Chain A
Amino acid sequence: MQAVQAGDLEAFEELYQRYRRPLFGFLHRYLRDAADTEDVFQETFLRVFEQRHRFAPGNAFATWLYTIARNAGLDRLKRAERRVSLDPRAHVLLPSEPSSVDDVLDRRQQDQTVRRALDTLAQAEREVLLLRAEGLPYEAIARVVAATPAAVRQRFHRALRAALEGRLTR
């Protein structure tokens, strides 16, 4: 990140390659709209580059990246004030493992169920659940969503249980 702060484009491209997939996946699930995902994804990386001098060395880059992405995504959600169902054909979805035709159909049905369950969650709970699924610890998520780690843990527990009630597993 220090090289990026000095204006090194090659270093920025390395960071981009490392985080492009996880960030896009997070935004895709968070915003549930293909065009919004693309816009916010692009906006996030542009902000990262333009505000690179604000990044404090010693902090985790992922936390900073997801903070920018979450804020940009939140702005977009507030502005749009809409909940558009995501068209799964809009982006290439990477299957986690190769499967038979039946497995693929089962998986597709299950994925739709998971997405519907996520749709039932409140925005504050959904974002915590998705950030946790990205592997961020409570402390990092707390910085991203500007809350205490205890509050984040509580939200996560609520979200996972609510998702379960929304038949996440059936």
Chain B
Amino acid sequence: MHAPPDCKRSRSTLPDLATGDPAARAAGLVHLEQCPTCSAEYRDLVAAWDALQRLPAAEPPEWLDQAVLEAIRRRAPIARPVRVLWPALGPAARGAFAAALLVVLATLLLPFDRLAALCEQVLLRLRLSAVWPAVPFLLAGFLYGALAHLVVSPFLVRRAGPAGSGQATIDGVLFALALLPVAWVTCEPFTVGVAGGLLAGLVAGALSGVLGGTRLVAWGAR
């Protein structure tokens, strides 16, 4: 004996109805009120579903929680996330902005010609007479470059590994490019060779920045 068409349709939705699916309720409940066979199966399915859901849930033991979280901490590449001030900008844009900002600040706090004069005085006091007029500027450039990387690198270095050094190098080049016009104007009485010496100092500063950046990454990585 075949089931009536309504029963066939009802049976195809009974499990959904038993689990409380609202879409199945609308059509299913009307038929159940009139059909004792489907109604009995529905009650059994509801009971089965309830029994399954009442099955006690196992609780992860405390030692497992500790083991999982400890393992995650060991594998975490960053012990403390470095805050990036301008997350919307890319690393290069952030580097350029930071370098420009630093030049302005450094010029306001300690103008480049003052720093160069200071370097000259120090060299004289140490009886290391400048054999070449560019040396104080070279030293000043080096100090500017090193300072730039100390300030800028933490904003750029986010991940451990060689990428940190690469970003610090890009940062150094951007810094050198940003400072060059300022240095050029400041060094007007001198020759182009002096500006070249300054640039060499900046490159040395960039190298120190690479080393500084690498150290920062290593410090943050573990």
Contacts and interface: CB of A to CB of B under 8 A. Distances in A.
B19 interface: yes
Interface string B39-66: 0000011011101111111111100110
Given A42-B64, A91-B59, A12 B72 contact: yes
B45 A164 contact: yes
Given A9-B72, A41-B68, A42-B67, A111 B60 contact: no
Contacts of A133: 52-53
Interface stretch (A13-21, A56-64, A65-73, A139-147): A13-21
Tell me the interface secondary structure of chain B in the complex: helix
A76 B7 CA distance: 41
Contacts of A25: 57-58
A49 B72 contact: yes
Interface residues of B, number: 34
Contact of A20 (B53, B54, B65, B71): B65
A46 B75 contact: yes
Interface string B1-41: 00000000000100110110000000000000000000000
B61 to A, nearest CB: 7
A29 B64 CA distance: 18
Contact of A9 (B19, B44, B58, B73): B73
Interface in B62-94: 64-65, 67-69, 71-73, 75-78, 81
B151 to A, nearest CB: 23
A114 B51 contact: yes
Contacts of B71: 42, 46
Contact of B51 (A13, A92, A157, A169): A169
Contacts of B67: 42
A100 to B, nearest CB: 16
A7 B72 contact: no
A51 to B, nearest CB: 12
B61 A114 contact: no
Given A9-B76, A25-B58, A160-B18, 12 more contacts: A9-B72, A9-B73, A16-B69, A20-B60, A20-B65, A38-B64, A45-B68, A46-B71, A46-B72, A91-B59, A160-B15, A161-B15
10 closest A-B pairs by beta carbon, nearest first, are A25-B57, A28-B58, A93-B56, A169-B47, A168-B48, A91-B58, A7-B78, A24-B60, A157-B15, A92-B59
Interface of B: 12, 15-16, 18-19, 44-45, 47-49, 51-61, 64-65, 67-69, 71-73, 75-78, 81
